[in-house]
Amino acid sequence: MASTIALTVARYRPEREAAPIFQTYDIPFRKDWVVLDGLNHIKDTQDGSLSFRWSCRMGVCGSCGMKVNGTPKLTCATFLSDYLPGPVRVEPLDYFPVVRDLVVDLSDFMRKLRQVKPWIIREEESPADGEYLQTPEQLDTYKQFSMCINCMLCYSACPIYGLEPSFIGPAVIALAQRYNMDSRDQGAAERHKILSEHDGIWQCTFVGECTKVCPKHVDPAGAIQQYKLTSATRWVKSLLLPWSAR
Amino acid sequence: MNVGPHYTLYHPRWYRRRVSVWWWLQKRSYTGFVLRELTSVFVAFFAVVYLWQLRALAQGPDAYAQFLARLKTPLFLTLDTVAFLFVLFHAITWFNLTPKAMVVRARGKRVPDRVIIGSNYAAWLVVSVAVAVVLLRG
């Protein structure tokens, strides 16, 4: 079995390069190492200047998303052994501005996420008996969408987001649906304004890659198509029954 | 420190990569997606042929015979074959994607994707058989 494996890592140091370059590092190969372990090994023993984000190293925090051999991946859950004999190409996520090396700026996502009000909206606060009750079936309708960890792999996989940066994007729509479908929420009409715009669901042409790369099986593509159906039904209803309250 | 009006101190000097015009050739799934979008052109082609057929039918037996003769030329046979393959691709890819948009719940549980896809194919088969029966009888 191989004793070393090469990691070809994108470097972008704004004070030195105008555009990213690639640098190759040979690291020891270990069966139980993930790409993130390799990057940490480089940082600890070979090149302390390499910059990347990570935190939990167990697929929960969503910080370590990068492109591994061209596919958006959580590097903490991507084993080096799947890429033998190497080299493994590690790049920052696509379509976000690169700050340094493998670190991208996510401000655009954060701004869009706030627009869809990803929290429970009530017309009137405080239920009579202190809590909102929910059955397991009601939980089941949105639970899948609540698994999103904001890792941004879906944005990096979405060519529409690359071509039309104004698109609010897969994770934002999935998270809006997470609240729309929550039985305790009453904010669907408020979110509808943002979601039903051209830059909302209708910008999506259903490439479907967001769902394929999602490490938490959120299925953002499904969330978008389901909301297209909801939005179209609303539109037909408003056409047939213009006097009915929304 | 003297800072000019166009320079934001401590603001990162971002690198933004432009999306290549050939992005859809970089991954097989992207190419498949663009082909699926392209199928709409061939669906429209069939619609136009049908309209043309209706017009020929309205114009009388001579015009209809001429229409049929035109359809038998190698050019139309080739076009029809290509269009048919694309329309087939259109139908299959969209049928396979229906469970993404249609979430059906029965007895508190989500109906499996296979069942939804299967019922689409079943409906397709039933309609096709019905059309075939009408055509072959007549």
**ipTM, 2 dp:** 0.84
E strands present in chain B: 105-106, 109-110
pLDDT digits (tens, 9 = 90+) for A146-176: 999 999 999 999 999 999 999 999 999 999 9
pLDDT digits (tens, 9 = 90+) for A24-82: 999 999 999 999 999 999 999 999 999 999 999 999 999 999 999 999 999 999 999 99
Name the residue among A12, A225, A228 with its Cβ closest to that of B15.
A12
pLDDT digits (tens, 9 = 90+) for B53-87: 999 999 999 999 999 999 999 999 999 999 999 99
- The position carrying tokens 């830059």 is A199
pTM score of the predicted model: 0.89
Name the residue among B13, B16, B30 with its Cβ closest to that of A207.
B30
Residue in B closest to A161 by C-alpha: B19
pLDDT digits (tens, 9 = 90+) for A170-206: 999 999 999 999 999 999 999 999 999 999 999 999 9
Domains and CATH numbers, chain B: 23-101 (1.20.1300.10)
Residue by residue, DSSP assigns A30-58 as: -TT-BHHHHHHHIIIII-TT-----S-SS
C-alpha torsion B110→A116→A63→A7, nearest 10: 80
- Looking at the predicted structure, is the pLDDT value of residue A6 above 90? yes
Domains and CATH numbers, chain A: 4-104 (3.10.20.30), 107-240 (1.10.1060.10)
Q: What is the mean pLDDT of residues B27-40?
A: 94
Determine the Cα–Cα distance for residues A108 and A165; give it in Å rounded to an integer. Answer: 9
- Looking at the predicted structure, is the pLDDT value of residue A246 above 80? no
- Looking at the predicted structure, is the pLDDT value of residue A1 above 70? no
Q: What end-to-end distance do the CA atoms of chain A give, in Å?
A: 64
Q: Where are the alpha helices (DSSP H) in A72-198?
A: 107-115, 136-142, 153-157, 159-163, 170-180, 188-195
Lowest mean pLDDT among A87-91, A130-134, A136-140, B129-133: A130-134
Q: Are A201 and A172 in contact (CB under 8 A)?
A: no
Q: Are A203 and A160 in contact (CB under 8 A)?
A: yes
Q: Are strands A4-11 and A71-74 parallel, antiparallel or unpaired?
A: unpaired
Q: Which of B8, B11, B14, B30 to mutate to test the interface with A (most CBs of A within 10 A)?
A: B14
Residue B107's pLDDT is what?
A: 80
Task: Share the mean pLDDT of chain A.
Answer: 93
Left (φ > 0), alpha (ψ -120 to 50) or beta: where does A86 sit? left
Residues in B whose CB is inside 8 Å of some CB of A read 12-17, 19, 23-24, 26-27, 29-30, 33, 37, 97, 99-103, 105, 108, 110
Are residues A14 and B19, on separate chains, in Cβ contact within 8 Å? Answer: no
Determine the Cα–Cα distance for residues A107 and B29; give it in Å rounded to an integer. Answer: 28
Q: Are A179 and A115 in contact (CB under 8 A)?
A: no
pLDDT digits (tens, 9 = 90+) for A203-237: 999 999 999 999 999 999 999 999 999 999 999 99
- Looking at the predicted structure, is the pLDDT value of residue A10 above 80? yes
